[in-house]
Structure 1
Amino acid sequence: MLRIENLHAEVDGKQILNGLSLDVKAGEIAAIMGPNGAGKSTLGYVLGGRPGYEVTKGSVLFDGRDLLALRPDERAAAGLFLGFQYPVEIPGISNVQFLRSALNAQRRARGEPEVSAGDFLRITREQADALGISMDMLKRNVNVGFSGGEKKRNEMVQMGIIDPRLAVLDETDSGLDIDALRVVGDGINRIMRKPDKAVLLITHYQRLLDLVVPDQVHVLAGGRIVRSGGPELALELEREGYGAMAA
């Protein structure tokens, strides 16, 4: 589903990614781990198409399409969802307004009919109930006044409604207490652990991987993948740290 080959990228003239290659197949959850400054968030932003992150070499294919040739909105319509480490607040726009506009914009881009108001509210209520978010909260402005855990659960509601094929989740566990972590982990499994979907899960810690068990774990250091393995690799990193792998 996702094939990254020899990817180089820079920010403000500083090289961050240095020949990163990675394959993620449909039905897989791939964890990206690594020390601070390794390029993990940069990888997510490059895939999402954030301005200022310039690809200088390499290629990214998503379902056989040249992802780097698409605008951010086209990437979203193609099925890519980017979850942020620090979800932003959007004053003046309610969650339900934002989500319905986003969902129908993507459906129009794919030539699909828009979702009616009734169907949208039904889908939204189902996703919100599963993630412990009240409908009253969804009527509030996007993330305004939300706690860290509420923002992350709200982002899972967004993912459930958008229903992407590939989710790139940047440190979704950041700032979560035990209960919120469990809710978010259950949400990732429920929404994305399916044969036609895939997840790129960027994280520092094993605790999320206890709930969302990855099919593969990759260590990113110095802007490239330096080691890959199964779930046992994350346990090794938890015990021993990055050590020589990050050197």
Structure 2
Amino acid sequence: MFIQTGLIRNAREAIVLSLQIFSRTIGAKYRKSFLGYFWMIVPVVVIAGGVSVAKLAGTINPGATGLPYTLFVFIGVVIWMIFVELLDVPYQAFDNARSYLTRVNFPREAIVLVQVYEALVGAAARYLFLCAVIAAYGILSFGGALILLASIVTSVLMGLGVGMLLAPFMILFEDLRNTVRLFVAYGIFVSAAFYAPHSGVFGRVIQINPISIVMAAAREGVETGDMTSVAPAFLAVVLVSILLVVVGTILIRIALPIVVERMLIGGR
């Protein structure tokens, strides 16, 4: 009972502290930039535009996409970028807090929550941008918007869950961090961000990729207003993502004393 009370109190303190820090930093972060929040959208536009030009030149054969190809790419790239951003959140939170993590006593979860809030602001901006693009194509529906939102939330949970599982080990082992960087840089090419799954081994790899399932659900929702054909696989990805977040939270709480001790003795 005392343990449960302590955990609840610690969680409450972490949430309050993280909200205070977030409210003071988020405005200052983008106030320094002339374009501000637009920088959350620029990478999506650049990547989608470049891939669309490559497709027109015949460099990319995307297969049967259903949606207009530019919109197809927009949806895939947004979901991938949100996943990658959340994947890196736990590591970046602790890495950025090295200077005071070992000197100040405070709920350590707060620094992760602050980074999560910032990533959620970016995800919300990209979601609104996607809705505007879809509306420009004249195919935005209420059901499609809800399914798109559910897909983005799932990519948030998936990225955060995987990131929380990997963060303690990435701090302790630089090789793992480099491996994750390599995945972040090139992993998009083994997802369905740029093309529909083809036949063969490569097509099968794309099909079973969980982030590809999320992309497929979002695209089908936008196109038809439902996601009947991918609903079971999408539900499985949602449940696994939630489980990853829960397990990752427990792992971080267990691993934090070891990570902080490593920092104290002059390691990473």
TM-score by length of 1: 0.24
Higher strand share: 1
**Structure of greater Rg:** 2
- State the TM-score, normalized to the length of structure 2: 0.23
Name whichever structure is richer in helix by fraction. Answer: 2
